[in-house]
Amino acid sequence: MRDGQPLVDLAWVVAHLDEIARRTLEHLWIAALAVGVGFGVAFGLALLVLRVRRAYGPIVGLTGVLYTIPSIALFAALVGVTGISLLTAEIALVIYTLQILVRSIVAGFDAVPADVLEAADGLGYGRLERLRRVELPLAVPLIVAGLRLASVSTIGLVTIAAQLGEAFGGLGVLITQGLQTFFATKVYTGAILSVALAIGADVVFVLIQRRLTPWARAGANRLAG
Amino acid sequence: MEVTEGHAAATVEFRHVTKHYDAAALRAGAPGAVTDLSFVVPAGRVCVLVGPSGCGKTTTLKLVNRLVEPTSGQILLDGVDVATGDPTVLRRGIGYVIQQVGLFPHETVEENIGTVPRLLGWSAARRQERAAELLELVGLPPSRYARRYPAELSGGERQRVGVARALAADPPILLMDEPFGAVDPIVRERLQNELLRIQERLAKTILFVTHDIDEAMKMGDLVAVMATGGRLAQFGTPAEILAAPASEFVARFVGADRGLKRLALVRVGELALRRPVAARVGDPAGPARDRIRADPFPYLLVVDPAERPLGWLDQDEVPETGSLDAGGLQPAVPVFDRRTTLKDALAMLLDADVQAGIVVDEDDRAVGLLTVDDVVAWLRSDGASRSPADAGREPAASDTPRSA
């Protein structure tokens, strides 16, 4: 950092609101796409696990190994296959969500009480109907818990994707450029906003869960009243 | 309308039904096997399957709604083999209640009860109306309970909702797997009585699983005692089984106190009751004194003009002249009606420490006497085998007391 420079130069921020907003939206969009696609893939894998239990070990093992690869290394490795592209960034980000999401979705379905499933079968629910009307709603709390973790970690990882290039780094681009030019304002702006995005995403998921599971608070109300 | 009140009950018949599990299923904790099971439950009757754990009683129940498929044999509902149709369609026509209830935690009480009606395509308005009706039936005011979630209910309330849910589409058959096993004894007793009351109105065919022999004797018109390996050890009315256990196993299972259990199955009105020697207040005392002195029972029963009991008078205290008044009487307790069970009557007699209780009719008129000796004599005479076909829970309300 250069001497005499304020920590955050508000004049620069005001002058660059356009760019900051664009980078923020880009960041959000890249993360949302990764979590969305990751959720779809993880949900399919979880359904497979529910059908074929033996698949759980290998699937969790594989996603676990992928999860341990350092993000920079994974981005670099993928560049060799898919080039410097949004696809590269997304593939890496999706891979990182799988470990969290597969486990949480399977745990969500496993948490549905056996007596509830027996009652559902005994009353004449078909297989799909049971999945949609009984198992899925009851799996929501754990699934949403997984989505919260995955979205927070993905929002953090997008900043690293900025290493791939200015086109797909979101707020990470501000951070990278700030570091390269010793301009603290840019670094802080990017960092603070990406933390704010992560917190915001977390809050949104909590609100969604409250909406979807009014029944989960019923027991607590009873204890309180 | 898919379901009407028309088919109130159906006959359930097991024909040589066997269910064996292979080694892998057994390791995975498969329930008890069933071996060559044959019996018929007539429409509108309660059949209790009772036996030690692992005897296949739950498996037997699940064979009816095809949660378990038999290895061989047939199960017929009103003569139709259950194996012929789609199992989910079959299940929507059979009420199912399990011990842990299995209410859907994410649905309100009303939505839970509306499950099968919704699967059958009833409109929302009709489902709601039906849920309210059933909540009334099981004693939960709909205005207070319809919108609650299962987490907001007590154990007993959950069981009631479970029963209401099973009855929602008015199925002809109800399967109940230890429905009251998870509630405390006081609540269990109340739920049992409520189910009997509901059954008096609805007359469904009910298959009821329990490991509690007392519950079996109380709830069953018919009882199937099952032994380990899923064999039928005895099938009959509770009175038949208590009076004449078919084997050592059954005798041991029903317990050493089966004599006392039989008392709970018989009502006062079923015995040949001795007529009390009674006189109205204001009657001339002389003739009354002569009558009671001629009777082996030494107390005169003094009644009011409507023949309701007022109290006892020792035969030596009956005046020789004048008329009877209501003074100096010993209290007229205990009083039974004809529907009191012998078990309760005996308890009341022992508790009141008197020689005889008074049996009254619907208008509270004294119509008979019951003594501890009468109860003991009935047990010794093996009275329960007298008319096993209708000595179950059926009250013998039409019996008229005969003089001894």
Per-residue confidence (pLDDT) for residue B400, from 0 to 100: 38
- Report if residue B396 sits inside a domain: no
Which ipTM score applies to this complex?
Answer: 0.82
Q: Which of A77-81, A155-159, B2-6, B363-367 has the lowest mean pLDDT?
A: B2-6
CB contact under 8 A, A116 and B107: no
Q: Which of A45-59, A106-120, B390-404 has the lowest mean pLDDT?
A: B390-404
Q: What is the per-residue pLDDT across B42-70, written as a single tens digit (0 to 9) for each?
A: 999 999 999 988 889 999 999 999 999 99
Per-residue confidence (pLDDT) for residue A128, from 0 to 100: 92
Model confidence at B6, in pLDDT bands (50, 70, 90)? very low
- Report if residue B103 sits inside a domain: yes
- B231 shares its domain with B281: no
Residue B149 has pLDDT above 90, yes or no: yes
- B132 shares its domain with B169: yes
Show Cβ contacts of residue B55 under 8 Å, excluding neighbours closer than 6 positions: B32, B226, B227, B228, B229, B230
Residue of A54, A117, A121, A123 for testing the chain B interface, max B β-carbons within 10 Å: A123
- B60 shares its domain with B164: yes
- B229 shares its domain with B374: no
Quick check: B250 and B39 in contact, CB under 8 A? Answer: no
- B228 shares its domain with B92: yes
- Report if residue B397 sits inside a domain: no
Helices (H), A52-85: 56-68, 71-82
Residue B364 has pLDDT above 70, yes or no: yes
| Residue of B90, B98, B105 with shortest CB distance to A215 | B105
Domain boundary, last residue among B256, B278, B313: B256
Average pLDDT over chain A, rounded to an integer: 89
Q: Which of A195-199, B80-84, B301-305, B331-335 has the lowest mean pLDDT?
A: B331-335
Residue-range definition of the domain harbouring residue B339: 268-390
- B156 shares its domain with B280: no
Percent of chain B exceeding pLDDT 90 equals 47
- Report if residue B3 sits inside a domain: no
Cα–Cα distance between A149 and A198 in angstroms, integer? 10
Show Cβ contacts of residue A192 under 8 Å, excluding neighbours closer than 6 positions: none
Helices (H), B8-56: 23-27
Fold of A10-216: MetI-like fold (1.10.3720)
- B220 shares its domain with B283: no
Q: Which of A102-106, A147-151, B329-333 has the lowest mean pLDDT?
A: B329-333
Q: Where in chain A are the domains?
A: 10-216
Model confidence at A223, in pLDDT bands (50, 70, 90)? very low
Model confidence at B76, in pLDDT bands (50, 70, 90)? very high
| Residue of A129, A134, A221 with shortest CB distance to B104 | A134
* Among chain A residues, CA nearest to B113: A123
CATH code, B163: 3.40.50.300
- B30 shares its domain with B138: yes
Q: Does A211 touch chain B (CB under 8 A)?
A: no
Per-residue confidence (pLDDT) for residue B322, from 0 to 100: 84
CB contact under 8 A, B149 and A218: yes
Domain boundary, last residue among B200, B232, B256: B256
Cα–Cα distance between B159 and B179 in angstroms, integer? 7
Mean of pLDDT values over B379-398: 46
| Per-residue DSSP letter, B267 | B
Residue B34 has pLDDT above 60, yes or no: yes
Q: What is the per-residue pLDDT across A114-143, written as a single tens digit (0 to 9) for each?
A: 999 999 999 999 999 999 999 999 999 999
Per-residue confidence (pLDDT) for residue A168, from 0 to 100: 77
Taking CA atoms, B53 is separated from A52, B31, B39, B48, B218, in Å, by 31, 9, 21, 15, 20
Cα–Cα distance between A55 and B239 in angstroms, integer? 55
Residue of B91, B106, B207 for testing the chain A interface, max A β-carbons within 10 Å: B106
Query: What distance, in Å, lies between the first and last C-alpha atoms of chain A?
Result: 58
Q: Which of A103-112, B28-37, B388-397 has the highest mean pLDDT?
A: A103-112
- B77 shares its domain with B202: yes
Domain total for chain B? 2
CB contact under 8 A, A222 and B103: no
- B115 shares its domain with B142: yes
Per-residue confidence (pLDDT) for residue A5, from 0 to 100: 65
Contacts of A117 in chain B (CB under 8 A): 102
Cα–Cα distance between B161 and B142 in angstroms, integer? 11
Residue A2 has pLDDT above 70, yes or no: no
Q: Does A80 touch chain B (CB under 8 A)?
A: no
Per-residue confidence (pLDDT) for residue B53, from 0 to 100: 85
Q: What is the per-residue pLDDT across A54-65, written as a single tens digit (0 to 9) for each?
A: 999 999 999 989
Q: Does A131 touch chain B (CB under 8 A)?
A: no
H-run or E-run covering B379: helix B372-380
- Angle at the Cα of B35 from the Cα atoms of B228 and B174, rounded to 5 degrees: 90
Per-residue confidence (pLDDT) for residue B22, from 0 to 100: 78
Model confidence at B29, in pLDDT bands (50, 70, 90)? low
- B34 shares its domain with B58: yes
Helix (H, G, I), strand (E, B) or coil at A206: helix
- B334 shares its domain with B276: yes
CATH code, B306: 3.10.580.10
Using N-to-C axis directions, what is the helix angle for B342-352 and B372-380, rounded to 10°? 140
| Per-residue DSSP letter, B54 | T
Quick check: B168 and B115 in contact, CB under 8 A? Answer: yes
